[in-house]
Chain A
Amino acid sequence: MDTLYLRRRITNAFALALGTAATLFGLAFLAWILWATLRQGIAALDWKLFTKITAYGDQGGLSNAMVGSLIINLIGIAVATPIGVLAGTWLAEYANRTRLGESIRFLNDILLSAPSIVMGLFVYTIIVLPSTVLTHGNTTFSGFAGGVALALIALPVIVRTTDEMLRLVPSTLREAALSLGVPQWKLTSQILLRAARSGIVTGVLLALARISGETAPLLFTAFGNNFMTLNPLDKMSSLPQVIYQYANDPGDTLHALAWAGAFVVTLFVLLLSLTSRLLLSRKVSHD
């Protein structure tokens, strides 16, 4: 009897200790990765990062990549936000509990973690290839194509948050408006979407955080460009793509620049996701 009791206690203590160790293991990796990025990134920070373009190689900076990232991300968000918000609205307001609605909601959840490199190849097939043929090779890879690829990754995030946020809106609001004779499109666009606005904005920010670090879908869509360009129909470089290229370079002179870029991207993404999470938790706890 006593030995059984002792054995159970030991098993328990052992399991709980292992759980604690697992948590420390996870936290250690987090600290290790952040520390590496911070140390190497700050060491490589320099003004020329923001003023010079990548064409100068190790004497240059990343300014064209930063501008490119900004443009591509903006295109991605600009394409994904209206489509995502409207689709999410349809799921929450029009197709809740219908068969088609449930299947699209389900497939959207799958799209949320679909491999991003396949999305890049998809956009390559539907935008890069046709534009090459139509313009006789004048326009091949483009910042626009990169933006669309990122939009496909941002889309499910925005659809999901919009859907969830709208379903949090109390149904008394709908009933009150409908009983006053407000048509459904007006109710949806002017009352419900307004009520869920802050949640939807958070979803868009989360989507932006998600796509800002994406590299794989940009390799065959925006491709990269060593010079500054503001034309979305040009090949365009982006921070993650330049980091990928520089980190893979056999010489180490470019590695410092890659770390600096990595630092900038990580800082941006983490700040963005922290802010949106903070907004989200405040929103949910109030409701």
Chain B
Amino acid sequence: MSTSPAATAIPEQRATRDARHDRLFAGLLKACALIVLASLLGAAFATLWGGREAFGTFGWHFLANSAWDPGNQDYGALVPVYGTLATSFIALLIAVPVSFGIALYLSEVAPRWLRTPVASAIELLAGIPSIIYGMWGLFIFAPFFAEHIKPWLTNYLGNNPDDGHPSWVAAHVPFVGKMFASDYPFGASILTAGIVLAVMIIPFISSVMREVFQTVPTRLKESAYALGSSTWEVVWDIVLPYTRSAVIGGIFLGLGRALGETMAVTFVLGNAMELSSSLLDPGASIASTIANQFSEAVGLQKSALMALAFLLFVVTFIVLLIARMMLRRLASREGR
């Protein structure tokens, strides 16, 4: 290498400059990526910090206490936690079979030209802001529920129907009578909130199911068809087992949404801070309690609300963690 010193100096300078820029650029990018991490950790710590007073005052009893009494400064998480879990569970109970049906229809039954438009229409449901679900629930669905669905439920399943005699189901099946007993005349209830939530999460679950159903190798399905399977048998015995982990992942994804949903639930839950055995009575969820009370709360009440938010965050985090791990399992098997 017999070049003059002046000629080598310039590229070398340039190389060091580029290297420096590269390091700076990579550092900037990494810092931005770490912000994602920081916002998750920050949200957990901020709510934990905000809730320290409540956790310190009530300890573990906070989780088991059904009181929510600003007058006596006595707060417990049981009512909102129960409301959150009950509404989400009802939502899953409705949304999972419906989503499976939609995925089945879109991947096996519908004529090809119909698949994309119907799938996009269902996905449109996911794009509607949750406050719109809330308004629809409050003004349209809850009155409809109170007028048409609730009387039927209390009469045929509840403990105290109009004619005064417990229904046959209530008399023979334990708990059902209590679950559907209500003398509260309005539509807002845990069940209503569960149904509205179900409609909200159907597009999430069904689009995951549909997507993973499409990843099943065609030769697998064709082999089953060649052996004489019906469409249903192919879906139930071939497609579903193959995609099981991702389907569970999709369901947990929907559950994560349902647990943290605020607006759609707040409007139709009735916001009653008391525990009721009936699904037709109003209740409260963690998110609805925070939305309703936080701006006016001070002191211990504010701290209790922060503590609730922390619980919600931790639970949704775990649920979403499971969801993503399940979804990833199918992806890794495919070598993606």
Contacts and interface: CB of A to CB of B under 8 A. Distances in A.
A109, A113, A223, A277 — most chain B CB neighbours (10 Å)? A113
Contacts of A66: none
Main secondary structure of the interface of B (DSSP, over half): helix
Nearest to B21: A185
Contact of A110 (B129, B131, B135, B321): B321
A285 B32 CA distance: 30
B102 A265 contact: no
A11 B229 CA distance: 12
B332 to A, nearest CB: 11
A243 B199 contact: no
B1 interface: no
A83 B36 CA distance: 9
Interface stretch (B178-186, B219-227, B258-266): B258-266
A269 B135 CA distance: 16
Interface in B99-154: 99-102, 104-106, 108-110, 118, 120-122, 124-125, 127-136, 138-140
Interface residues of B, number: 89
Contacts of A220: 294-295
Interface string B71-114: 00000000000000000000000000111111011101110000
Contact of A8 (B134, B138, B230): B230
Interface stretch (A29-37, A53-61, A169-177, A196-204): A29-37
A240 B131 CA distance: 7
A26 B102 contact: yes
A121 B290 contact: yes
Nearest to B254: A113
A166 to B, nearest CB: 12
Interface stretch (B53-61, B166-174, B273-281, B310-318): B310-318
Contacts of A90: 26, 29-30, 32-33
A134 B135 CA distance: 38
A64 B155 CA distance: 48
Nearest to A182: B18
B109 A19 contact: yes
Main secondary structure of the interface of A (DSSP, over half): helix
Contact of A26 (B36, B43, B104, B125): B125
Interface stretch (A44-52, A100-108, A226-234): A100-108
A86 B233 contact: no
A16 B231 contact: yes
- Place the interface of chain A in its size category: 35 or more
A191 B257 CA distance: 37
Given A8-B233, A26-B202, A115-B260, A16 B324 contact: no
B137 to A, nearest CB: 9
A12 interface: yes
Given A110-B317, A240-B263, 7 more contacts: A20-B105, A30-B122, A90-B26, A159-B33, A183-B19, A209-B127, A274-B124
Q: 5 tightest A-B contacts by CB?
A: A213-B129, A115-B260, A22-B101, A185-B25, A90-B29
Interface of A: 8-9, 11-12, 15-16, 18-23, 25-27, 29-30, 32-34, 36-37, 40, 82-84, 86-87, 89-91, 93-95, 101, 104, 106-111, 113-119, 121-122, 125-126, 152, 155-156, 159, 183-186, 188-189, 209, 212-216, 219-220, 223, 240, 243-244, 247-248, 255, 258-259, 262, 265-266, 269-270, 273-274, 277
